[in-house]
Amino acid sequence: MVDNSIVCAYLYIISQYGYPPPAKNTFQHLEQMKALGFKRVELEGIRRAHLLEIYQQRNEIAGHVKALELQVPYFCVVLPGLASANPNEREENVQLFRQGCEIAALLNAKGVLDNAPLPPFVFPESIPIVRHYDEDVLQAAHFPPDLSWDTYWGDLTDTYGTACDIAAEFGLTYQMHSCLGVLAATTDAFLYFYDAVGRDNMRFNLDTANQFVLKDNLALSLRRLAGHIDYIHLSDNRGFKVEHLVPGQGAINWPVFFETLNLIGFDGLIGLDIGGAESEVGDIDSAYIQSANWLTEHWAK
């Protein structure tokens, strides 16, 4: 079995079944992660339709998690509409966020996780349903001509303050996941956003691959974010594009990374977040087993 401090991120499932993967197959997804040897796993509710499907099955899913003797420390509530410039869309997504927190609490999770807020881009169609917004997608977007940044920023920070308060009602942290294009993608950006929102239960979900490709020094980020990090997404990256590789296949300096984790007294969980269409991983099962063994050797308690 995999060490209990290591989590199987939902990217394992997404890499096999697309984004979002069919919610009706969640039992199967749980069984697959269990079969790899993981005791702790992620689940996700991705935008309105997928999240509501998970919500409808929440009691059955919680029962299956218990029957499999699994734990779901983090439930991902993926709602880019929380950062919309449209107040009605923001309010609708706040209500969906509450339902996501209900699911997380039922699963005895520590927190909920979402990408940090996406700026109020206007895309040629609608917000594309993708995990990460690559350069081509972002370059195709523009901003509403009547956008007042000061007004938007006030509305945004109020909305995320409300979301943090909802999470706190359920005893949850709210993890901001970093990725290209979002407003809290880097250490500096998160700390600025954290101060603006002003809620103690907001956390930074440090994604090693995404931070590395954004040229955010990982060792310095860990030092500056000590106290704001209790969950890490771990994968490797070569520094040229978004990709989530098996540790050792990229350019991240892992000895310094783990040394810094020890220096700041990190005692949270690490989720293996490997794969995705952008990563050319190949055999996904082998990638996760190899990475779990590697992480156990290098860090696991």
Mean pLDDT (whole number) for 150-164 = 98
User: Over 90: is that where the pLDDT of 216 sits?
Assistant: yes
DSSP string, 171-215: T-EEEEE--TTSTT-SHHHHHHHHHHH--TTEEEEEEHHHHHHTT
Domains annotated for the chain, with CATH where assigned, are 6-298 (3.20.20.150)
pLDDT at 205 over 70: yes
Quickly state the pLDDT bin for 130 (edges 50, 70, 90). low
Which of the four pLDDT bands, split at 50, 70 and 90, describes residue 128?
A: low
Give yes or no for residue 269 having a pLDDT over 60: yes
For 49-83, what is each residue's pLDDT tens digit? 999 999 999 999 999 999 999 999 999 999 999 99
